[in-house]
Amino acid sequence: MKTFIGNEAMYRGKIHGNLLKKRNITGWSMCTRVNGLESEPNIYSCYGIASYDNLDKIGERWAAARDEVRATMSKEHLDDIDQRIKQKKFRVGEVLLNRASMASTENSEWNYLVHNYTNATDVNVFLTAQDQYFKPHFEKHMKAGNTKQVLWLTAMVLSPQGYGYNWNSYTVDGFVKYSDIFNAWTSDVEWPQEGLEAVSKTMKNEQFYKRVIWQRKMWLDEQGKLMTN
């Protein structure tokens, strides 16, 4: 993990920063899993693609950004990098998502994300209910200061799809402190019961398939500068 995170900071993070400065991506962050089974993925990286043009050209643009970054490094530095990135690792999966709804505080700088995965029987019904009932709910209570949550969003999986996969959409909750996840509300609130019923009907056992906590370790600011936590 130390080697992998170091490679992200001193090498791949610079490539991502190059892409962001050229607006070929709109953002990048890397998180590590908190708790869970040893067999589960322990790294989560996210790109903001923003457009189909960026999606179609991401491979060639990434290669061009990599070459530009490498051109700024000395031979000794490159030799060290090339040895470090030979680290044994494997990709568990890659998912293309389309964000559907989002609510956030004015300062939505988060350190922790809770991913609530679901294999909805009808993704459109699930996301429509989330947007209709829960987006206003979180917007209202974030504005009123009734919750420590700073970010909420929903997304659907564009690829891969089908019943061979165990989730097709999710909601995300963002927090500043780890303890806020388990103590999110500062006052009693009334949840939209109609929304709860509509969403529950689309989920097996009326529950999320899985809830996973991720801690943000590094990301890019708006200027493409690497930030670390």
pLDDT in tens, 2-19: 888 999 998 999 999 999
Same domain, 17 and 77: yes
pLDDT at res. 96: 96
pLDDT digits (tens, 9 = 90+) for 167-178: 999 999 999 999
pLDDT at res. 91: 81
pLDDT at res. 127: 97
Structural tokens at position 2: 């130390």
Same domain, 103 and 208: yes
Compare 48 and 229 and report the one with higher pLDDT: 48
Q: Are 136 and 228 in contact (CB under 8 A)?
A: no
Q: What CATH number is given to the structural domain containing 111?
A: 3.30.70
Structural tokens at position 160: 């891969």
Which of the four pLDDT bands, split at 50, 70 and 90, describes residue 213?
very high
Q: What percent of the chain has pLDDT over 70?
A: 100
pLDDT at res. 86: 86
pLDDT at res. 208: 94
Structural tokens at position 21: 């400065």
Kindly write down the DSSP assignment for every residue of 150-183, as one continuous string. -EEEEEEEEES-STTSS-SEEEEEEESSGGGGGS
Residues 6 or more apart in contact with residue 127 via CB below 8 angstroms? 100, 101, 154, 156, 169
Domain count across the chain: 2
Same domain, 125 and 190: yes
pLDDT digits (tens, 9 = 90+) for 23-80: 999 999 999 999 999 899 999 999 999 899 999 999 999 999 999 999 999 999 999 9
Same domain, 51 and 144: no
Q: Is the pLDDT of residue 89 over 80?
A: no
pLDDT at res. 24: 95
Q: Between the CA atoms of 115, 117, 122 and 125, what dihedral angle is there, to the nearest 10 degrees?
A: -30
pLDDT at res. 32: 96
pLDDT digits (tens, 9 = 90+) for 147-167: 999 999 999 999 999 989 999
User: Which residue range is the domain that position 107 belongs to?
Assistant: 98-215
Which of the four pLDDT bands, split at 50, 70 and 90, describes residue 90?
confident
Same domain, 121 and 160: yes
Q: Is the pLDDT of residue 229 over 90?
A: no
Pairing of strands 210-220, 169-175: unpaired
Model confidence pTM above 0.95: no
pLDDT at res. 179: 98
Same domain, 66 and 18: yes
Burial of 102 (0-12, 13-18, 19+ CB in 10 A): middle
Q: Are 115 and 214 in contact (CB under 8 A)?
A: yes
Q: Is the pLDDT of residue 117 over 80?
A: yes
Same domain, 60 and 105: no
How many angstroms separate the Cα of 115 from the Cα of each of 55, 138, 152, 209, 222?
24, 16, 10, 10, 24
Q: What is the mean pLDDT of residues 121-139?
A: 97
How many angstroms separate the Cα of 172 from the Cα of each of 75, 114, 117, 131, 152?
42, 6, 9, 13, 5
Same domain, 120 and 200: yes
Same domain, 13 and 69: yes
Same domain, 210 and 102: yes
Same domain, 40 and 77: yes
Compare 120 and 1 and report the one with higher pLDDT: 120
Same domain, 143 and 202: yes
- The mean predicted confidence, pLDDT, of the chain is 94
